[in-house]
Amino acid sequence: MRSRQRMFAAVMRLLLKCLRLGRRRRFKLVRQAQQLWHYGHLCLRSLLYNSFTNSDVVLDSLFEPVYWLVDHVTRWFGVVFVALVIGLTSSIVAIVYICLLPLILQTYTPAWICWHLAYGHWNLIMIVFHYYMAITTSPGHPPQAKDDLTGVSICRKCIAPKPARTHHCSICNRCVLKMDHHCPWLNNCVGHYNHRYFFSFCLFMTMGCIYCSISGWEMFRDAYAAIERMKLLEKERLQVAANQTYYQTPPPTFSFRQRAFHKSVVYLWVLCSSVALALGALTLWHAALITRGETSIERHINKKERQRLQKKGKVFRNPYSYGSWDNWKVFLGVDTPRHWLTRVLLPSPHLPHGTGLSWDLPPCVTEQRAPLLAI
């Protein structure tokens, strides 16, 4: 009897000991899990901590995947956009030569024929030249050897000195001298060395579209009326054919050539008018920026700087603006009066003033201005 009681007591002591060990082990695991959680939370906060964090930084961080997607899509679709520009422009030129030019030669007076031939071919040459130069000319980048490079700041992506008016393009993944923007229709950045080509292309393309829209207005009205008349006659012909019996399909009322001609004229006028409105607005916007001596990026920077100085009772002045007229002369590279003909009205591959690394006073500027601190 006593032996059984002793055995039972021993078993109970062993069971209680196992339960105490299991409870300690369980508490130890819980404490280790809590320590790991606190340690990981502390590490995460230390990695994400920023004393300058605000709502703008949080929004930029949230939209970073969207920015990454837009940058990569724009980079790969640039070739598609360039092909689209070339294809649409080539289709308009083909319609003019195949459909409109024979009609012009048959119906217009010799003076108007000479005017259309001269202006049309001059405008076409200017469009092709400036578009080709805009897509093939590098906008300019800071040199790789950064020993002698003077910069006003450090690019946080290139980790290199950044000269004045230079900005980093996330699509090209490089810093661009006097960057204006990355144009997907050029598949290239618009910067110091190709800014003039880009604006000239926009200007002459707008002029060409306006020229086609105005000169082809009467043809468009006639073609649109003819298409409506075709639809009406085709509808009447089908109604008559439904009430009669034919051993074969009756011949069409209008030939394929007539249909193609009228539809081509309508396509030309609608496309040219749409491009003239959209591209004309963009050209006016860049013309206003050139008049003020700033780029698209600098417009936002200068606006913030102007507001900041206005709160302090000061007046902001753009350090790269030399006056409206001189800004255009510097942008177009006009040093002498004859340059308005040789460099503006005719194709010219001349380089812009300066290297894009430093911004000294151009020789064509008429007034010397007080030096200002670069933005």
What value, to the nearest 5°, has the Cα angle with vertex 162 and ends 159 and 168? Answer: 75
| Catalytic residue of the set 169, 175, 183, 212 | 183
Token pair 């255009």: residue: 328
180 CB-near residues (< 8 Å, 6+ apart): 190, 191, 195, 198, 295, 296, 297
Instruction: Tell me phi and psi for residue 361, to 5 degrees.
Output: -70, 120
Listed in sequence order, the DSSP H helices in the chain are: 2-48, 55-62, 64-95, 101-107, 110-136, 195-215, 217-242, 256-292, 296-311, 324-332, 339
- To the nearest 10°, the Cα dihedral for 287, 205, 136, 129? -110
DSSP 292: H
Distance, CA of 352 to CA of 372 (rounded, Å):
22
Judge residue 263's burial from the number of C-beta atoms within 10 Å of its C-beta, 0-12 exposed, 13-18 middle, 19 or more buried: middle
The DSSP symbol for 364 reads T
Write down the residue that tokens 């194709």 correspond to. 347
Residues, the chain, total? Answer: 375
Task: Report the alpha-carbon distance of residue 195 to residue 180 in Å, rounded.
Answer: 8
Per the listing, tokens 């006073």 go with: 361
The two three-digit tokens of residue 340, written as one number: 């308005």
Residue 167's Cβ-side half-sphere holds a number of Cα atoms within 13 Å equal to 19
Q: Tell which residue, 327, 324, 333, 375, has the closest CA to residue 354.
A: 333
- Whole-angstrom Cα distance, residue 55 to residue 189? 30
Question: Other C-beta atoms within 10 Å of 286: how many?
Answer: 19
Q: Is 183 a catalytic residue?
A: yes
Token duo for residue 185: 């229709």
- Indicate which residues carry an active-site annotation: 183
